Every structure is written in C-alpha cells, then in structure tokens.
Structure 1
Amino acid sequence: MSIEPIPADLSFAVPGSEDQLTRAAKGLTERGYTAHVVDTPEQARDLVRDLLREIGTDKVVFTANSETLRVSGIQDEVDGSGEFRSLRTELAAVDPQDIRTMIKAGAAPDVIVGSVQAVTEDGVLVAVSASGSQLGPYAAGAEKVVWVVGAQKVVPDLETALRRVWTYSYPREHERWRVKGMESFVGKLLILEREYQAGRATVVLVRTEIGF
C-alpha cells in the first residue's frame, strides 16, 4: 500500500526578519536561555564546537535526530570527529534490540545537542518527536542543552508555533520517511516556557533556513 504525502504550508519555510530574530533572542534571554544569532549553518557548527569544548570534551554528548544537525554538519562533528564523547558512538556496541539500555543512556546525558520545531518571538520553544527520546533530556535530563534553530522557525506566538508543527514540520518529516517506505507521526510534544537553571540551555539562532 502506498503512503500518501501530506501537503506542507510552505509559508513556514520563509526565514524570519532581523527584527523577529532580535525579538526572539531577547525573549529567550528573558526566559533564562543563553541566545546567540549567527549568519550561516557553518558558523553555527563552529559555535557549537566551541561551546562543547567549553563544557568539556570528557562529557557525553547525545545528538538528537535532527535535519538541522545533519545539514549543518554538527552531527558528523560530534559523532564522527573523535574529539567528543559521542553517546551514539558508545551505544554502537549495544544490541539494537536492547531498547531499554539505549533509552536509559539517552535520558540523562551530560549534554544534548538538537533543535526545535518553533520559537516564538517572546522566547517559547516547541519541540516534537515520534518516540520522545530527546524530550526528556531537553526538559530536565541533560546537564546542558544546545539547540540550533533556523530563522524560518521563528513565529509570532504559541498558536502559530503549534500550527507550524502540524502544517509544516510534520508533513516535511512525514515526506522524509515516506520516500523510505515508512510513515512518521507526532508522538510527543514539549512546550518549553522557561529555563530555571542559569547557564543550562543555549539557543543558536541561524539567520538562514535550515531544518524542518
């Protein structure tokens, strides 16, 4: 049986304006996050590398499944360079059927690097997942969190952020799996209103479109 595509609202692929990025960075800062704005995915990759070095190369780093990390080269940088302790590399020796071991290891890594599906102009983050494996570490399990977020994910408010999830991010992810003969779905949704621990979470906003 063929898997039907889901139409995506391509208006959500348009990068936000400089004013929107400025407001989002300000909103994030006021909500307890460290915010950076960079021009390109390459600059984001370099900044993430520097941040991970500052945190410590002895720390275990979990790269969440993310088109943003893949396209920017951050996933390869963390998991393939040998400079950092990659959780994915360490779990390569675990039996793929031993799901509980992998879930437990990913639930509380020293650091998680990933992305979100939307950021509001006043600094609220929205992340979605099929399995939810990255959402626990995002919320509290990881000691440090770094999110890399394309400018097209900056939206005016939470209502628009949720609409972006269902009409753009989900259809794009569904299409990515459809060409492999599988379906995607939204299994878990996390709304991050504020970070309670100063210095724990960093958001790197990229002025270009990257990721879903």
Structure 2
Amino acid sequence: MDYSTIASDASIVKTIAALSAKGYDASIAASRADALEEIKKLIPADASVMNGSSATLGEIGYLDYLAKGGHGWRDLHAEVTAENDAAKRVELRKQSVLSDWYLGSVHALAETGDMVVASNSGSQLPHLVFTSKNIILVIGAQKIVPDLAEGMKRLESYVVPLEDARMMQAYKTHTANNKTLVIRGENPSLGRKFHIMIVKEKLGF
C-alpha cells in the first residue's frame, strides 16, 4: 500500500461515517485553508489551547496563526517553551494537560474509525486519552487505511522512518516509538468532544 497517496472520496466518506457512528464530530475539509478557518470558528476567545509537535498543524498555518496572537486564546505551548529552567518546564508541561482544547493529528486513521498515535515522550497522550475536554484532530487524507492492522504497518514502516530522518536533520538524534496509542472510541459519560477533520490534501507524515 502506498501510504503517501490521498484516499479516494469513497474511502473518505466511509471513514467519516465510521467516525460519526462512534460519536465524533467528523467533517471533511476541502483544503488546509478551510481546516484552519474551521479551527478559528470552533475555539472561543477565552480558551486555553495546547498542541503537540505536529507537521500537520504547521502546514495548515495554525502554528503561525497561534504565534501571531490576536485570537484571545491562552497558548500553553508557548508558556512551556518560554520557560528556560528545565525542571519548571517539565512541570508546566504536566499542567498543560488540563488545557481546554488540544490540537494535533494522528499517524493512521482506519476506515473503521480507529486511530493510531505514536509518541516518543508521551506528553500529548493524556490530552487525547482523558484530560482535555475538547480535541481537534486534523488529518491529511493520505493517512486513511483500510483497518487497524494496516494502520500499525503504516506507523512502523512509513511514519517512524520519516520522523527519524526529520529528527536527525533537525536535532542530530534518532526518534523512538516509545508509546503507541490506539483510539477506538470515547466514553460519552466523560463529556468530552472530539472534532475530527479529514483534509483532502497530503498533510504531515
């Protein structure tokens, strides 16, 4: 399977239906610009926001928009990275898991609605699993695969090597897939909301 090819319209529609059946707010964005505009509409001006390391968020223009200010959001990621003391930075990152909104992506999205997210440190996983009340996941349509097994193959054989190359170029160090999360659904009693946007473009890995 070519993991860089954008999924067909039929595959995207099938995936949206599966996500919706799981209770997610699932939508299709025709372009990265449309995805960014939808994010602007979703997040209220007084909210705290946190994001993980995400090529996708950079490619849709979200990170630039966040950095410029004027949106009224409290940028917890900026607060973490602005702290020079390593120990204090770790504590701020721990506190950030209580953000009102968390934004990120996934490494594979199955047509069944199952999602795969891998992490080196695991810092973004609490948001996804439990702590943040509102989650926005922006997913390039090339990340859609038929099932969870193919999603795991995509992660190991395609995503990890690309991320390793990026890490070596940027930081002269290798990556490590230390923690892998499979999201199959959400307990409605938690009162959390997942907004999942499939963008009909190639975004991220």
Distance, in Å, in 2 between the alignment partners of 1:114 and 1:166 is 19
1:164-192 CA distance string (max 9 Å, x none): 00011111111111113211111111111
- Alpha-carbon distance, 1:131 to partner: 0.6
Residue 131 (structure 1) aligns with = 121
Q: Who is 1:35 aligned against?
A: 26
The one of 148, 156, 170 equivalent to 1:166 is 156
Q: Does 1:60 align with 2:51?
A: no
Contact (CA 8 Å) 1:32, 1:196: kept in 2 or not? no
Q: Aligned ranges for residues 3-152 of structure 1 at < 5 Å?
A: 11-52=2-43, 56-83=44-71, 84-98=73-87, 99-152=89-142
Separation in 2 of the partners of 1:57 and 1:146?
A: 16
| Corresponding residue number in structure 2 for 1:203 | 196
Output the aligned Cα RMSD: 1.5
Show the counterpart of 1:6. none
Gapped regions of structure 1 (runs ≥ 5): 1-8
Q: Distance in 1 between matches of 2:112 and 2:24?
A: 12
Matching residue within 138, 146, 159 for 1:156: 146
Q: Take 1:65 and 1:113, find their aligned partners in 2: how far apart are those partners?
A: 10
Separation in 2, partners of 1:127, 1:80: 28
Q: Deviations over 1:105-139 (max 9, x none)?
A: 22221110000001110111111111111111011
Q: Which amino acid aligns with 2:195?
A: T
Of stretches 41-50 and 143-152 in structure 1, the one that deviates more from structure 2 is 41-50
Whether contact under 8 Å (1:107, 1:137) holds in the other structure is: yes
Amino acid at match of 1:76: D
In the TM superposition, residue 74 of structure 1 has moved relative to its aligned partner by 1.0
> 1:85 deviation in Å?
1.3
1:199 CA drift (Å): 5.9
Question: Residue 194 of structure 1 is aligned with which of 181, 185, 188?
Answer: 185
Q: TM-score w.r.t. structure 2 length?
A: 0.92
| Amino acid paired to 2:115 | L
Contact 2:133–2:192 (Cα < 8 Å) also in 1: no
Q: Matched residues in 1 for 2:67 and 2:183: separation?
A: 26
Distance 2:109 2:128 in 1: 14
> How many equivalent pairs are there?
200
Point out where structure 2 has 5 or more consecutive residues left out of the alignment.
none
User: What's 1:178 paired with?
Assistant: 168
State the identity as a percent: 27
